[in-house]
Amino acid sequence: MIVRVIVTPKPVVNDPQGVTVKQGLASLGFREVTDVRIGKYIEMNLDTSSEHEARQLVEAMCRQLLANHVIEDFQFDIDPEHKRR
């Protein structure tokens, strides 16, 4: 099954990349953009048939490696029907 993890800087953490991209968008005329935060997208293929097990595994992976809890939050979704191309 396919797992998609999104890691984002915590709201209290300064994100200079996001600020710069927001300024870039504003200079292109997209003045509706009030905030930009830049994170990471991680896609994995998991060799398990249990969605429950997959959830526990990914949670552990995020806590131990994929995200740094000091500065980042994470979220993920699991697609049991599909495999990574």
Partner 1 sequence: MKFGVVVFPGTWSDRDCGWVVDQVLGADLTYLWHKDADLKGVDCVILPGGFAYGDYLRTGAIARFAPVMEQIGEFADRGGLVWGICNGFQVLCEAGLLPGALIRNASLEFRCEWTNLVVERTDLPFTSKCAEREVLRVPIAHGEGSYFADPATLSRLEQRGQVVFRYCDPSGRVVPGANPNGSLHNIAGIINARGNVLGMMPHPERCSEAELGGTDGLKLFRSVAEGGLKVLVS
Size of the site for partner 1 (CB under 8 A): 13
* Stretch 40-69 residues interacting with partner 1 (CB under 8 A): 40, 65-66, 68
Whether the Cβ atoms of residue 78 and residue 6 lie closer than 8 Å to each other: no
Burial class (CB in 10 A: 0-12, 13-18, 19+), 49: exposed
In the block, tokens 């495999």 appear at: 83
Site membership for partner 1, residue 11 (CB under 8 A): no
Among 28, 70, 82, 85, binds partner 1 (CB under 8 A): 70
**For tokens 């191309």, what's the residue?**
85
Rule CB under 8 A: is residue 27 a binding residue for partner 1? no
Query: Which one, 1 or 7, has the nearer CB to partner 1?
Result: 7
Instruction: Name the minimum Å distance from CB 68 to partner 1.
Output: 6
Nearer to partner 1, 10 or 55 (CB): 10
Angle, alpha carbons 60-65-66 (nearest 5°):
90
Q: Which residue has the tokens 């131990």?
A: 64
